[in-house]
Chain A
């Protein structure tokens, strides 16, 4: 009898150990996103212009350089920040300034942001400034798209062609 009681208590102890594991391994469920909304991702990775423009080297200056270091122009490494704005239905949703990566600020500048909008037809406009100009934009583009609820809509930029991609 004692043995049965002991085994029963052991079984109960194992149950108490396993039950929370079974439950919390997948429950309670978590609602990550509303099913009637579209998630827009803006992702831009772009190399901006240099802070100081490159200076052409004279033939004498080139000749003074070591043979393996000879180049046509001399360039400072640091690049400008990247300004990005994105509008949805005429309202600015993202306004971002990104510094170039790297210790010398000579790498890519990048923006990644995600936000939700109700599914349906929306006008989307995006623009970036990668130069030293104080006003206006170097690249801009807009589109009107039917955004399907429960799906992602991505806005990216192809630096090589200067085009935005809405997908």
Chain B
């Protein structure tokens, strides 16, 4: 195929193989990333444990695909796989008998393999669908430039180093030297060293261990968001912005004249506070005796956030006064310079834009710095994006136009990027100083 019709079938075959290998690479990187960022424990266990069976289906698809080529490698895989499966007490008679010699191989075998190679990916797709069920607005497609770049890379690879068959299969001849696809077949040479039953124990033990990682040790989840019906008008902004599908809009239960009210699923709520940031009643400007938002985080209600903002403002010793709202998950505790007063919040997306207006219009600070997670890498999901859009005035609730954007800076950092964070803060601080020096009041005085 690669030689006789390289321009269509050959390229497609090579693309198919290298893309399937790239899938393994990307899945392993994804798994390591989510583990290293601790995005698996607590209520996030669901995505983790539903990802584990997906690994199993990926391997069934990949290994099954190699059988279809029916070259020497396929012959080896067929014999090794069936012998390995026969080590499980599942089959009435050895399925390796199907590959005993060239007389025992039937055409129906290939029908079965085609069936498996089509339906295993469908099951994998089903698992992936389940995998993202607790994620609103899950990004299942890569950004277009990355998709194009990857496609071109794999295409170039397919032309430069086409995937080749390894000689026709002959069940009477022992395949000796084989070019294994180590992404899918790395476990197979172990069968020369370990009995099949033990290797199954290792494989399933490993998968079980992987599935149990969210509870090793278990997380202590923060209390879920709570709805205050007296302040909720059922606008649905919290429903729109929740990244974990934890909020649903249900018929009104308190007899007020609104159609709906927000309801929080305790099982899904990650206590990120993005709903608080989205709620139009989350404002420190309210004149009620007790400031309560339509939806609140019990550990950091809006009234407390207002108090902490005022307290931080009171601690400034010199100018410029930079008030930092910093994400707790991206190194807020690492801002240790006394020039900056830090108000830690679970996620920058939790900060209602009105707080920026509050801090600047009430002269509580000369500038406001929002220190969130790295771009597109929000610990919770979407917090950085919603904040950017709210500030830019493209997502409700908007930051009011009267707010001087020069006195506001958004910073996106990974938790270890301490130097970058400090440099960005220093730069912002300098710009505020320069601005103060250039101001008419200063000139006139």
Contact = CB atoms under 8 A, between A and B. Distances in A.
> Interface size for chain B: under 10, 10 to 19, 20 to 34, or 35 or more residues?
35 or more
Interface in A91-145: 101-102, 107-108, 110, 112, 114
Taking each of A101, A114, A152, A156, which has the highest tally of chain B beta carbons within 10 Å of its own beta carbon? A152
Given A110-B94, A114-B83, A154-B100, A34 B183 contact: no
Interface in A61-80: none
A33 to B, nearest CB: 5
Given A22-B161, A43-B94, A14 B149 contact: yes
Interface string B61-97: 0000000000000001000000100100001111011
B178 A18 contact: no
B171 interface: yes
Given A25-B21, A25-B181, A114-B83, A152 B175 contact: no
A151 B97 contact: no
Interface of B: 17-18, 21-22, 25, 76, 83, 86, 91-94, 96-97, 100-101, 103, 149-150, 152-154, 156-157, 160-161, 163-164, 171-183, 188-189
Contact of A31 (B100, B156, B176): B176
Taking each of B92, B97, B163, B174, which has the highest tally of chain A beta carbons within 10 Å of its own beta carbon? B174
Contact of A112 (B86, B153, B179): B86
Given A14-B150, A21-B157, A22-B161, A151 B172 contact: yes
Given A29-B179, A41-B100, A20 B25 contact: yes
10 contacts: A24-B21, A25-B182, A26-B163, A26-B179, A29-B178, A43-B97, A112-B97, A150-B173, A151-B173, A152-B172
Given A14-B150, A26-B179, A30-B189, 9 more contacts: A24-B182, A25-B183, A26-B163, A29-B177, A29-B180, A30-B177, A31-B177, A43-B94, A152-B172
A24 B149 contact: no
Contacts, number: 111
Contact of B176 (A21, A35, A156): A35
Taking each of B100, B173, B179, which has the highest tally of chain A beta carbons within 10 Å of its own beta carbon? B100
B103 to A, nearest CB: 8
A152 B97 CA distance: 13
A22 B19 CA distance: 11
A10 interface: yes
B253 to A, nearest CB: 53
Contact of A30 (B153, B157, B180): B180
Contact of A167 (B101, B161, B182, B189): B101
A22 B157 contact: yes
Contacts of B179: 26-27, 29-30
A102 B90 CA distance: 10
B10 to A, nearest CB: 15
Contacts of B22: 17, 21
B415 to A, nearest CB: 23
Contacts of B94: 43, 45, 110, 112
